[in-house]
Amino acid sequence: MNLKTIAGIGVYIAILVATSIWVGQQAYGWLPPQASAESMLIDDLFSLFSAIGAFILLGITGLVLYTVFTQSVSRFDTSDGPHMEGNVKLEIFWTAVPLLLVFFLAAYSYQTYQQMAVRGPMDLVHLHHMPGTTPTAYAADLEPEPVEEVEVYAKQWAWSFRYPSAGVVSADLHLPVNKRVRLRMTADEVIHGFYVPAFRLKQDIMPKRTTEFEFTPVREGTYRLNDSQFSGTYFAIMTANVVVESPDSYRQWLASAAAQPAVPAENPAYSEYTNKRLKRFGGWKTIAPAPPPLVNALAEG
């Protein structure tokens, strides 16, 4: 290798590094607003993966394009390229580097996961007997205990949320900001998924089983909850609002909801099912939606 080649490689790598760092910064903008403590951790991780990914993708694409533009020959050129069968040092290098990179990325992801401490289904069971678990992310800034507990019910095709302390059932999920929430989730007939893109969190809800789930909303606003596991005909419209608000307005809302009588919630799946005009092509027989849940607080907006 002469000096010119080394300089060329150096410039190429410098451009790649600069571009990759830029892509890593851009990555934050591809995601929804950060509305939970966990979302910040996930976005940092995603930014890192995007930067490394950009380096690899652009690096390889650059090499391929360089070869295509400099090494193409006419169809009448019948000569062969150099007979290069391999290079042991090079092959060890490009096996070892991805191996180390993969270990690094797995370890980093593991650390992020520990900090998130979302406590999926089985973890919580074990954690009750296990003192000294990993501290939650941003735990210092937040009220440690008690957590806010909400029961989540999913059925074909409606969400409802029960607040056991206040005896309130709601069509929207209201949460106080900066306070850790514990959800106890159950489903009626089929698997549903709890997914709020702004929280970056997702957990399947199994029928006839309680799935516990924890996280911390950190930004006031109204977000959308989706069903993330295909649940049949009206899957696409099984949504609900998540309202994250200040502790004061949260308490006010609970109090005013407790004073309301329980009435059937509005249910887009049910109205679509009964509206014959919407049956265009297909129109096959479907599972009938379950009756709308009885709620004290109807959906807002």
Q: Which of residues 196-215 bind another protein (CB under 8 A)?
A: 197-198, 200-204, 206-209, 211
Confirm or reject binding of residue 155 to another protein (CB under 8 A).
Answer: no
Interatomic CA distance for residues 164 and 258, integer angstroms? 11
Q: Nearer Cβ to another protein, position 228 or 296? A: 228
Contacts of 195 (CB under 8 A, 6+ apart): 201, 202, 203, 225, 226, 227, 228
Contacts of 58 (CB under 8 A, 6+ apart): 16, 19, 20
In single-letter form, the type of residue at position 139 comes to: A
What would the x/- binding string for another protein be over residues 247 to 276, using CB under 8 A? -------------------------x----
Confirm or reject binding of residue 11 to another protein (CB under 8 A).
Answer: no
Least distance to another protein from the beta carbon of 143, Å? 24
Question: Which of positions 49-88 make contact with another protein (CB under 8 A)?
Answer: 49-50, 53, 56-57, 60-61, 63-64, 67-68, 71-73, 75, 77-87
Confirm or reject binding of residue 291 to another protein (CB under 8 A).
Answer: no
Which position among 20, 34, 226, 267 is part of the footprint of another protein (CB under 8 A)? 226
Least distance to another protein from the beta carbon of 113, Å? 5
Greatest Cα-to-Cα distance within the chain, rounded to the nearest angstrom: 88
Confirm or reject binding of residue 181 to another protein (CB under 8 A).
Answer: no
Opening angle at CA 105, ends 193 and 116, nearest 5: 45
For tokens 């049910």, name the residue: 270
Q: Nearer Cβ to another protein, position 220 or 272? A: 272
Confirm or reject binding of residue 1 to another protein (CB under 8 A).
Answer: no
Q: Nearer Cβ to another protein, position 85 or 248? A: 85
Q: Nearer Cβ to another protein, position 157 or 253? A: 157
Q: Which range touches another protein (CB under 8 A), out of 115-123, 140-148, 241-249, 259-267?
A: 115-123
Instruction: Report DSSP letters for 197-233, one per residue.
Output: GGGTEEEEE-BTS-EEEEE-B-S-EEEEEEE-S--ST
Q: What is the CA radius of gyration of the chain?
A: 27
Confirm or reject binding of residue 28 to another protein (CB under 8 A).
Answer: no
For tokens 């000294």, name the residue: 132
Sheet (strand 192-196) strand order: 173-176, 239-245, 221-227, 192-196, 201-205
Q: Nearer Cβ to another protein, position 170 or 229? A: 229
Confirm or reject binding of residue 25 to another protein (CB under 8 A).
Answer: no
Interatomic CA distance for residues 220 and 204, integer angstroms? 25
Three-state SS letters, 9-37: HHHHHHHHHHHHHHHHHHHHHHCCCCCEH
Q: Nearer Cβ to another protein, position 7 or 125? A: 125
Q: Nearer Cβ to another protein, position 31 or 299? A: 31
